[in-house]
Structure 1
Amino acid sequence: MMPTRSAFTLAALLMAPAALVASHRPASAQSLQEALALAYSNNPTLQAARAQLRAVDENVPQALAGWRPTVQIASSVGQATTSTNAADRVTSPWRARNVVSNQASVTQPIYRGGRTVAATRRAENQVLAQRARLLATEQQILSDTVNAYVAVIRDQEEVRLNINNEQVLTRQLQATNERFRVGEITRTDVAQAESRLAGTRASRADAEGRLQQSRATFTRLVGQAPQRLVAPQPLRVPVATAAEAGTLAGQNNPNVVAALFDEAAARDLVDVNFASLLPQVSVTGSTFRNDNSTTSLDTRVNGTQVTANLTVPLYQGGAEYAQVRQARQTAQQARQQVNDQRRAATQQATLAWETLTAARAQVESVRAQIRAAEIALDGVQREAIVGSRTTLDVLNAEQELLNARVSLVRALANVITASHSLASSLGRLTARDLNLPVQIYDMEAYYNEVRNRWVGFGDYADRGR
Structure 2
Amino acid sequence: MTRALRRGPAASRLALAAGAVLALAAPAGAQTLQEALSHTYANNPTLATARAQLRVVDENVPQALSGWRPSVSITGSAGYFDSTLRQRSTSLTTQGAQTRSVEVDTDRATATLAATVTQPLYRGGRTVAQTRRAENQVLAQRARLLSTEQQVLQDTVSAYVNVIRFQEEVRLNLNNAQVLQRQLNATNERFRVGEITRTDVAQAESRLAGALASRADSEGQLQNARATFQRVVGLAPARLTAPQPLRPAARNNQDAAQIAAMNNPNVVAALFDEAASRDFIDVQLGALLPQASLQAQGFRNDNQQTIGTRTQGESITANLTVPLYQGGAEYSAVRQARQDASRLRNVVDDQRRTASQQASQAWETLQSARATVDSVRAQIRAAEIALDGVQREAVVGSRTTLDVLNAEQELLNARVSLVRALANVVTASHALAQAVGRLTAKDLALPVQLYDQEAYYRAVRERWFGLRDYAAPQPAAN
Q: Which residue of 2 aligns with 1:117?
A: 128
**Which residue matches 1:271?**
282
Cα deviation 1:18-76 (Å, max 9, x = unaligned):
xxxxxx93212000000000100000000000000000000000000000000000000
The residue aligned with 1:312 is 322
1:175 counterpart residue number: 186
The one-letter amino acid paired with 1:240 is: R
SS of the residue 2:231 aligns to: helix
- How far residue 79 of structure 1 moved from its aligned partner, in angstroms, is 1.7
Q: Tell me, what secondary structure is at the counterpart of 1:28?
A: coil
TM-aligned CA deviation for residue 304 of structure 1: 0.3
Tell me if the contact between 2:140 and 2:269 (Cα under 8 Å) persists in the aligned partners.
yes
Q: Residue in 1 aligned with 2:44?
A: 43
1:450 counterpart = 2:450: no
Among residues 302, 310, 314, which one is paired with 1:291 in the alignment? 302
Matches within 5 A, 1:358-377: 358-377=368-387
SS of aligned partner of 2:176? helix
Are the counterparts in 2 of residues 13 and 412 from structure 1 also a CA contact under 8 Å?
yes
CA deviation string 1:91-127 (max 9, x = no partner): 5502011110000000000100000000000001000
Would the aligned equivalents of 2:455 and 2:471 in 1 still touch at CA under 8 Å? no
- Inter-CA distance 189–430: structure 2 relative to 1 (3 Å threshold): same
2:68 and 2:420 map into 1 onto residues whose CA distance is 61
| Structure 2 SS opposite 1:230 | coil
Aligned partners of 2:172 and 2:416 also within 8 Å: yes
CA distance in 2, matches of 1:198, 1:298: 107
Does 2:409 correspond to 1:408?
no
Which one-letter code corresponds to 2:108 in the other structure? Answer: R
Alignment partners' CA distance in 1, 2:62 and 2:467: 13
The correspondence for 2:156, drawn from 140, 145, 149, is 145
CA gap of 1:343–1:161, structure 2 versus 1, over 3 A, is same
Length-normalised TM-score, structure 1: 0.94
Mapped contact 1:263–1:334 kept (Cα < 8 A): yes
Please say if residues 281 and 309 of structure 1, whose CA atoms lie closer than 8 Å, have aligned partners that are also in contact: yes
1:320-331 equivalences in 2 (<5 Å) = 320-331=330-341
Aligned to 1:211: 222
Partner of 2:344: 334
User: 2: distance between equivalents of 1:258 and 1:99?
Assistant: 59
Per the alignment, residue 252 of structure 1 pairs with 263
> How far apart, CA to CA, are the structure 2 residues paired with 1:134 and 1:177?
63
User: How far apart in 2 are the matches of 1:387 and 1:11?
Assistant: 45
- What's 2:357 paired with? 347
Aligned length: 450
Q: Secondary structure at the match of 1:97?
A: strand
Q: Deviations over 1:297-348 (max 9, x none)?
A: 1111110001111011111111111111111111111111111111110000
CA distance in 2, matches of 1:297, 1:254: 71
SS of residue in 1 equivalent to 2:104: coil
Deviations 1:373-398 (A, max 9, x none): 00000000000000000000000000
* Matching residue's letter, 2:168: E
185-194 or 74-83: which moved more? 74-83
2:248 alignment partner, SS class: coil
Corresponding residue SS for 1:214? helix
What SS is found at the alignment partner of 2:124?
Answer: coil
Deviation, structure 1 residue 461? 1.9
Contact persistence 1:12–1:232 (CA under 8 A): no
Aligned-residue identity in percent: 68
Q: Which residue identity lines up with residue 407 of structure 2 in the other structure?
A: A
User: How much has 1:409 moved relative to structure 2?
Assistant: 0.4
Q: Distance in 2 between matches of 1:265 and 1:463?
A: 29
Letter in 2 for 1:60: V
Q: Distance in 1 between matches of 2:471 and 2:349?
A: 34
Secondary structure in 2 aligned to 1:281? strand
Paired with 2:469 and 2:254, the residues of 1 have a C-alpha distance of 47
Query: Contact between 1:11 and 1:412, CA under 8 Å: does it hold in 2?
Result: no
Mark the CA change 1:16 to 1:199 in structure 2 (over 3 Å): closer, same or farther. closer
Q: Secondary structure at the match of 2:191?
A: helix
2:419 counterpart of 1:419 = no
Cα offset, 1:14, TM superposition: 4.0
Kindly provide the CA deviation profile for residues 402-460 of structure 1, in whole angstroms up to 9, marking residues without a partner as x. Answer: 00000000000000000000000000000000000100000000000011111111011
Secondary structure, counterpart of 1:29 in structure 2:
coil
Distance in 1 (alpha carbons) for counterparts of 2:198 and 2:471: 74
Asked if 1:384 corresponds to 2:394, the answer is yes
Tell me what 1:21 maps to: none
C-alpha separation between the residues in 2 aligned to 1:332 and 1:236? 39
Indicate whether 1:228 and 2:239 are aligned. Answer: yes
Given that 2:180 and 2:207 are in contact with CA atoms closer than 8 Å, whether structure 1 keeps it comes out as yes
Distance 1:242 1:347 in 2: 10
Q: 2:448 aligns with which of 435, 438, 443?
A: 438
What is the alpha-carbon distance in structure 1 between the residues aligned to residue 249 and residue 212 of structure 2?
44
Aligned to 2:119: 108
Tell me the distance in 2 between the aligned counterparts of 1:130 and 1:427: 15
Following the alignment from structure 2 to structure 1, what is the Cα–Cα distance between the partners of residues 313 and 152?
A: 64
Q: Which amino acid aligns with 2:68?
A: W
Tell me, in whole angstroms, the C-alpha distance in 2 between the residues paired with 1:14 and 1:25: 13
Structure 2 residue runs of 5 or longer lacking an equivalent are: 1-10, 19-24, 91-100
Q: Distance in 2 between matches of 1:329 and 1:250?
A: 24
Partner residue of 1:184? Answer: 195
Match of 2:138 among 127, 148, 168: 127
Q: Which residue of 2 aligns with 1:261?
A: 272
Return the alpha-carbon distance in structure 2 between the equivalents of residues 191 and 60 of structure 1. Answer: 76
Letter in 1 for 2:323: P
State the AA in 2 paired with 1:107: T
Give the superposition deviation at 1:13: 3.4
Larger gyration radius, structure 1 or structure 2 = 2
- Tell me if the contact between 2:15 and 2:242 (Cα under 8 Å) persists in the aligned partners: no
Corresponding residue for 1:3?
none
TM-score, with length taken from structure 2: 0.91
